[in-house]
Amino acid sequence: MSRALAKALTSQWAATLYAAAVSVGLTFLLGRVLGPAQFGQYSYILTVASIFAILQDGGFSTLIFRETAKAALTANTDRPPLMSLALGHLGATTLLGLALVPLFPDADNLPLGAAVAYYALFTAAALVSSSLKGHNNFAAEGLWRALSRTATALGVGIALLFPSPGPTAVFLGFLAGQAVACITPYGRALRVRPRLAPTREVYAPCLAFLCISAATTIYFRCDIILLRLLTDDPAAVGNYAAAYRLIEGVIMLATPLAHIFFRTLRLSLNDTAAFKRSFTRMLGVMIALSVAATVGGLLLGPFILTLAFGDKYADAIPLLAWLLGSLPFILPNYVLTQALVALGRERAYALLTVLAAVLNILLNLLLIPLLAAKGAALATIATEATLCAGLALCFVRGGFGAGAREKGMEKE
């Protein structure tokens, strides 16, 4: 491992471990303070808002990361900077989201409105992260992420000091904390004029990335929504959400490695042999990590879950055991998907994620009425396994060549 890679990975893991520790501690605190019923509503609102956040992002965070790592978009001096276009898109979609909030039940209006506003700033922070990582400033990106996580945690902590805090107070705390982070010097990349200027060279890849993000979030999050709609027990939603938080913790720890892998793959785009070697090595690392995480989760997961959330979440323990079965597919999928995006073959990836989302919804609709939360866990495993098979088939059939559009851009 080179010193530069070691430094980048160390800084990213340090930031991720810190952010994970703060996030996990905050989640455990919310679970205890809110209780299963309100924690279930909080998880539901969080899920709905995070799905809409895909539209707020519009695929720009991935595009900015890719283009700053190795530019491929045709040079166009008349086109506004990508950050300006991203912020213009973000502002317009956030206004749309706030206008749609009254369509939801009255009890969800206030927390959902606060959540949509928070995710606007969360998305802006993600754009800053993408720019920093694309320019190989992984250490600065780690500090930025740690700052954002600290500010939002402090905001929520203050909100929980108010009498009888609920989901609305929690999301307002997130919003206030993220606003403070964005006005610090780290957020200076956001101080550009927002512009709305749709062009094909920008919005064509953005549309593919948008579809990918939407489909991925849907099959990661629709289980919470469908559990809420198809069961009469709010506590079941809270127990499932608590178990899934541990799975998300493992995914969070693997994310920095995947991002560094992506930049390495992107830079070796013109050397097929080097690309293939890096891809094979990275896939092996993720497979090993997935096995270790699954075994560790089975051994230590019940203890961690009980310690973190308390004995009232005992029903979440068997759900965790089932959900751990998805990790041997989720982590290798990271490398498979990053490789496709690096190659400019995001259309194939987008198609597979849309199919996976449809499959996940159908499986949840079938299994939740029969098996409740266990059915949602089984649907997750089946979806990830199917996606893994489809992604692997892309490389079996297409090899490691860049997409046609990418090749054309490289020639220019």
Q: Is the dihedral of CA 33, 240, 251, 64 positive or negative?
A: negative
Residues of the chain with pLDDT below 70 are 1-2, 4-6, 9, 70-78, 401-412
pLDDT of residue 174: 95
List own/partner pairs for 223-226 with CB under 8 A and 24 or more apart. 223/360, 223/364, 223/368, 223/376, 223/377, 223/379, 223/380, 224/43, 224/44, 224/47, 225/44, 225/47, 225/48, 226/361, 226/364, 226/365, 226/368, 226/376
The tokens for 366 are 């079938």
pLDDT of residue 326: 94
pLDDT of residue 2: 63
pLDDT in tens, 230-258: 888 778 888 898 899 889 878 877 887 78
Whole-model pTM: value is 0.69
Residue pair 17/149 in contact (Cβ under 8 Å)? The answer is: no
pLDDT of residue 17: 79
pLDDT of residue 406: 43
pLDDT of residue 5: 63
